[in-house]
Amino acid sequence: MVTSTHETSHRIFQDRPDLLPPVFQILGVPLPVKATVEVLTPDTTEIRPLERRVDTVLRVEPPEGDGFLLAVEAQGRRDRDKASSWTYYLGYLRAKYGLPALLLVVCQDRSTARWASGPFRSGYGPWTALSLHPLVLGPDNVPVITDPAEAARNLAMTAFSAMTHGTHQEAPAILEALAKALGTADPASFKYYSEMLEIGLGETPARDTWRKLMAVGTYFPGRGTLVEETYLEGKADGKAEGLAEGKAEGLAEGKAEGLAEGTAMSILRVLAARGIEVSEDDGRRISECLDTEMLGRWLERAITVARVEELF
């Protein structure tokens, strides 16, 4: 069954190929230096009316020599049919592209991860015709990253760590480290990871923790995230028009006031969600500010400050 958690567990490899070097180091598999990564079609359907589709397929090409293919599958539970499906995927990809193929299985459950590591034997009687040995990432080998400095050095690995350990006791500490790291990250990274984690954590207590920390982004529309709720409520009130169209377009069209009001509203919502008390004077200072650059800095700080005074 395809779920939001399932989708983000493999999609992050498509969106953030910089995740591959630390992942391959964990798995003990050498990765070519300065290799380029290309996302390929995951469709492995033949003329026969039987649909087969890998979650994610990447082509990894080193500067010199032949590369290889990496099929990424997110697996939430044991499935006896996967052994034949996975074997087919690798055989098909090898034949289609003429390159070696590896299978990486991503699991958020220890029991499933142990099962997914195989090997899966195909043959008859004592004779083994094929033996499948997937690479597996799960709670036992994905590191728990709780240091904000380490998180800032590799946002993709920290986000992946948070999703992998999302149902475990380490989750809040990982999320706090990631939130602090995103406080100094570029706006595009902040928007992407804030919403991706809300989707990837699924219906877990960790998702509630993350919702209290994040408030900006539009990478996963239609999923009912806090970001989306903030935007839609602001639009209904006529205050988010400038924010929705972006700073550059808003200013160009004379909508700087709407952008400022929308950003100020987001700041106050983040502070309220985190349980930080805002005095009447401080609330007025935020609401009446028209400096969009200053408001942007306040919004970034709002996810980590302990007191509203630290915002200024």
Terminal Cα-to-Cα distance of the chain (whole angstroms): 47
- Please say whether the beta carbons of 189 and 182 come within 8 A: yes
Distance CA 312, CA 19 (A): 35
Axis-axis angle for helices 187-200, 171-182 (nearest 10)? 160
CB atoms within 10 A of CB 40: 16
Each residue's pLDDT tens digit, 81-128: 888 889 988 998 899 899 999 999 999 889 999 999 989 998 888 898
Binned at pLDDT 50, 70 and 90, residue 211 comes out as confident
Give the list of residues 6+ apart from residue 170 with CB closer than 8 angstroms, or none.
Answer: 144, 146
Each residue's pLDDT tens digit, 291-300: 888 888 888 7
Q: Which domains does the chain have, with CATH numbers?
A: 4-137 (3.40.1350), 215-311 (no CATH)
Lowest mean pLDDT among 3-7, 34-38, 88-92, 141-145: 3-7
Task: Give the phi and the psi of residue 110 in degrees, each rounded to 5.
Answer: -60, -45
pLDDT(58) > 60: yes
Each residue's pLDDT tens digit, 241-263: 554 454 445 444 445 566 777 78
What DSSP letter does each residue of 96-162 carry, written as one string? Answer: HH-S-EEEEEE-SSHHHHHHHT--EEEEETTEEEEEE--EEE-TTTS-----HHHHHH-HHHHHHHH
